[in-house]
Amino acid sequence: KGAFITEFEEAMLKGDMDLAVHSAKDMPMELAEGLDIWMVLERADARDVLVTRKEDGADDYAKKKTRIIGTGSPRRQIQIESLMDAECRLLRGNVPTRIEKLRQGMYDGIILAAAGLKRLGLEKEEDLCYRYLSYDEMIPAGGQGIVTVEGRNNNDLKALFEACSDRAAQLELETERYILKRLGAGCHEPVGVFSRIEGEEIQIRLLLEENKKPRRGSITGSVKNRLELADRL
């Protein structure tokens, strides 16, 4: 929990850094004392993507045989195994490294975040097929697709960044982090949570594990009642 940002937080508290930029899904539920989320950028595509080699065929994920799928996420594993006959194996490294492992034949497919692929310009590789998984098929990690800026509470820059925050993404992130905090969930539990605001309404989706199988639920209501809705869900 927070393994990716601890050093950044220590540097900010020492005054060696003014701010840090994070993927929201990497942030711990409890930030270090004296630090806060200054800014939430507009949310990118929050879906997960099953990436396969084109030589295997675009619909290879649907074949009735066990496929070796690379992922380091229990959340992704429990959901992909409910969609297809899959054996999940550990996948590490940055996005280009993971794609290269796929090309080398170490896996039949790998699961990556759409936002990361698109930000790196790797969503249209000619030798690869991309299967964008719907939110009904795979509920994302809390904060997936969102970039945040974190800094000290007493820094004069804070107000400038807050003024530029995307309001919808900020409320979605607050809702998702609220649920994760209530569940005490980190990156090692198979938990997915995703909220989407449209107009004055918000839909919240939640994934939990029950008897080693995914259990999904959702709830829709007024944005102003989002935390009450989260409690009910």
In the numeric block, the tokens 């937080």 are attached to 9
CB 193, CB 207: distance < 8 Å: yes
Closest CA to 188 of 95, 98, 93, 76: 76
Q: Among residues 25, 131, 152, 226, which one is catalytic?
A: 25
Catalytic residue from among 43, 76, 177, 226:
76
43 part of the active site: no
Which is catalytic among the residues 64, 65, 92, 212?
92
Per the annotation, the verdict on 26 as an active-site residue is yes
Q: Which of 26, 36, 56, 166 is catalytic?
A: 26
Closest listed residue to residue 79, CA positions, set 140, 26, 1: 140
Show the tokens assigned to 83.
Answer: 């969609």
Query: Given 43, 98, 131, 205, which residue is catalytic?
Result: 98
Q: Is 226 a catalytic residue?
A: no
Question: Which one from 43, 47, 67, 75 is the annotated catalytic residue?
Answer: 75
- Residue 166: active-site member: no
* 75 is annotated as an active-site residue: yes
From the candidates 166, 187, 196, 216, which is the catalytic residue? 187
Which one, of 117, 177, 116, lies nearest residue 141 by Cα?
Answer: 177
Sequence-ordered list of residues with C-beta below 8 angstroms from that of 12, at least 6 positions apart, any chain: 18, 19, 20, 35, 150, 151, 152
Angstrom distance (rounded) from CA 151 to CA 21: 9
Active site members? 25-26, 75-76, 92, 98, 187
